[in-house]
């Protein structure tokens, strides 16, 4: 299976330049950084860069990882019993505290 996956990956990387579309334009060749227009000049005066996009990405990762841990619990909740219920409640409470902290600090405001 590993050899098949490696072969497919190698084939895809080598075949793409030959069979893919070749419609290049200026917009496709420009750098793209989270929706912010790139500037050739550095930020003068030590100005702050907006971090809203990065904060959103970190929040997505946080809650995505929460779902990764909740799915196996949902499948085997009967076998885990009370111990599993207490552990998952502590986990959800911890993530809930993180959510409340971000909300309180204004991390979810897009003004």
* pLDDT exceeds cutoff 80 at 25: no
Number of domains in the chain: 1
Tell me what the mean pLDDT of segment 96-101 comes to.
88
% of residues, the chain, pLDDT over 70: 77
* pLDDT exceeds cutoff 90 at 10: yes
This prediction has a pTM of: 0.49
Distance of CA 5 to the CA centre of its chain: 24
69 vs 29, more confident:
69
Q: pLDDT tens for residues 27-39?
A: 667 766 665 665 6
Q: How confident is the model at residue 60 (pLDDT cuts 50, 70, 90)?
A: confident
Instruction: Tell me the residue range of the domain where 45 lies.
Output: 1-105
Residue 35: inside a domain: yes
Residue 27: inside a domain: yes
Which helix (H) or strand (E) segment holds residue 98: the answer is helix 77-104
Specify the DSSP class assigned to residue 53: H
Backbone angles phi, psi at 95, to 5 degrees: -70, -35
Residue 101: inside a domain: yes
Residue 111: inside a domain: no
Tell me what the mean pLDDT of segment 4-32 comes to.
85
pLDDT score for 89: 92
Residue 95: inside a domain: yes
Residue 110: inside a domain: no
The domain that holds 14 is classified in CATH as: 1.20.58.1610
């Amino acid at each position: 299976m590993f050899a098949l996956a490696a072969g497919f990956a190698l084939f895809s990387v080598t075949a793409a330049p030959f069979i893919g579309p070749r419609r290049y334009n200026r917009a496709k060749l420009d750098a793209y950084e989270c929706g912010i227009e790139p500037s050739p000049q550095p930020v003068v005066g030590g100005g702050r860069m907006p971090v809203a996009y990065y904060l959103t990405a970190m929040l997505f990762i946080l809650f995505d990882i929460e779902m990764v841990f909740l799915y196996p619990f949902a499948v085997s909740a009967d076998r885990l019993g009370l111990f599993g219920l207490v552990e998952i409640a502590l986990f959800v409470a911890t993530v809930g505290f993180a959510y409340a902290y971000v909300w309180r600090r204004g991390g979810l405001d897009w003004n």
